[in-house]
Structure 1
Amino acid sequence: MLSVCLWGCLEQEKELVQLKREARLKGGFYVSPEAKLLFVVRTRGINAMHPKTRKILQLLRLRQIYKRGYGKLNKQRIPLSNNQVIEEDLGKHNIICVEDLVHEIMNVGPHFKEANNFLWPFKLKAPLGGLKKKRNHYVEGGDAGNRENYINELIKRMN
């Protein structure tokens, strides 16, 4: 005899499988509706890069190696030296300090788009100890690819 919780979990699992099958029949992929946050660090140059990969990096505003974000106010690049800069631009969205900005981005909150568009790219340093085998995937002992929870280790080495 199945309990109610187990039965509900089985129903959710069946529904997920059905949605994946429908997406595959239409020639696409099923993506779960939960909000996800990505931190992307570009580790390779533009030489010998596939055109699709190059376009994706342009869409992510990663035109140079080792980039991440500054602040934008009146279409000008401004260092985030105090909370007044953030409050001036994002105060109408109830984001008044760096902690609020970080919280909004980390939790993919209701004003994530405005908070993310406020940030402009800036450079990170090369990682301490360098990159090993940057052409190989992370799971193969290299530095390219999805690190999931281990991205923080790379960012600490690059600050």
Structure 2
Amino acid sequence: MVSYSVPTTQQVLLPETLLKKQKSDATAEAKATETKVQLRKAQIAKRRELVRRAASYRREYQTSERQLVDLKRQAKANGSYYVSAQAKLLLVVRIRGINNIPPKPRKVLQLFRLLQINNAVFVRANKATMEMLQLVLPYVTYGEPNLKTVRELVYKRGYGKINKQRIPLDNNSLIEQSLGEKYNISSMEDLIHEIITVGPNFKQANAFLWPFKLSNPNGGWRTRKFNGYVEGGDFGSREQFINKLVQSMN
């Protein structure tokens, strides 16, 4: 009988450079996987924080509304009337064009950023603002926006000033990149809350918002824009009735 010897398997030796590259690739892949996991966890935590904030804002709004109702009922039970505190926030809408505007009102309109007809902006209600509004009364109408009006304007007509460009606010990350690190405003609800409460960072939040571009009101303006609102016209203070106007223009 003839016997055959089976050749033994020889170990293949890889170049040292290839071994180092494989080790480096494995380390990089593990690091990338860990980074992706950590990023995912951070995103989940951030989302939960935004949801928690939005819920706290809702509770704050509901508590404020209940307190207002209770105060009105209490005043009525005592045979008197409840007088609300002076508004802290105003919404100003430009209703007339550029023809025949004197230099001083033109400058005030520029300061308000009301450069076009049907532009609207939020302003803080204080003595200086009220004096400026008196200078541009024939060209604007204003009033006290409620939460619904502020929310609908920001969500439907909201644009941000990012790198001097008008960018639609369709992503919370746009707000976070511009206002999150310095002012802790990271979402649409944060922005709305800062505006409606006229918070400590109202100036920065309002400057971030581009002036709202509204349409002509449904059914057109009233008899004449050149008469005050209380006279049957359109300019001047509308108080809470500004909300009805904006609803017809939004």
Specify the TM-score bucket, using the shorter chain as the normaliser: 0.7 to 0.9
Matched, 1:105 2:195: yes
Structure 1 runs (4+) deviating above 4 angstroms are: none
Q: Which of 110, 129, 132 is matched with 1:58 structurally?
A: 110
Matched, 1:154 2:245: yes
Aligned mates of 1:153, 1:50 — CA distance in 2: 30
Q: Is this contact kept in 2: 1:138–1:145, CA < 8 A?
A: yes
Cα distance per residue 1:36-91 (max 9 Å; x no partner): 22211000112133332222111101110111362012222210112111111111
Taking only the aligned residue pairs, the percentage that are identical comes to: 63
How do 1:81-120 and structure 2 match up within 5 A?
A: 81-92=170-181, 93-120=183-210
Q: Is this contact kept in 2: 1:35–1:108, CA < 8 A?
A: no
Aligned mates of 1:55, 1:48 — CA distance in 2: 13
Aligned mates of 2:236, 2:198 — CA distance in 1: 22
Please report how far the alpha carbon of residue 111 of structure 1 lies from its aligned counterpart in structure 2 after TM superposition. 0.8
Q: 1:83/1:66 Cα in 2 relative to 1: closer, same or farther (>3 Å)?
A: same
Aligned mates of 1:50, 1:112 — CA distance in 2: 30
How do 1:71-90 and structure 2 match up within 5 A?
A: 71-90=160-179
Report the residue type matching 1:54 in the other structure.
Answer: R
What is aligned with 2:235? Answer: 144
Report the residue type matching 2:161 in the other structure.
Answer: K
Please report how far the alpha carbon of residue 35 of structure 1 lies from its aligned counterpart in structure 2 after TM superposition. 7.8
What is aligned with 2:68? Answer: none
Q: Could you tell me which runs of 5 or more consecutive residues in structure 2 were left unpaired when the two chains were aligned.
A: 1-85, 121-157
Bigger Rg, which one: 2
What is aligned with 2:101? Answer: 49
Aligned mates of 2:245, 2:115 — CA distance in 1: 19
Q: Which of 217, 226, 242 is matched with 1:127 structurally?
A: 217
RMSD value over aligned CA atoms? 1.6
Q: Could you state the TM-score of these two structures normalised by the residue count of structure 2?
A: 0.48
Aligned mates of 2:197, 2:185 — CA distance in 1: 13
Q: Is this contact kept in 2: 1:71–1:78, CA < 8 A?
A: yes
Report the residue type matching 1:130 in the other structure.
Answer: G
Cα distance per residue 1:6-37 (max 9 Å; x no partner): xxxxxxxxxxxxxxxxxxxxxxxxxxxx8822
Aligned mates of 2:109, 2:166 — CA distance in 1: 20
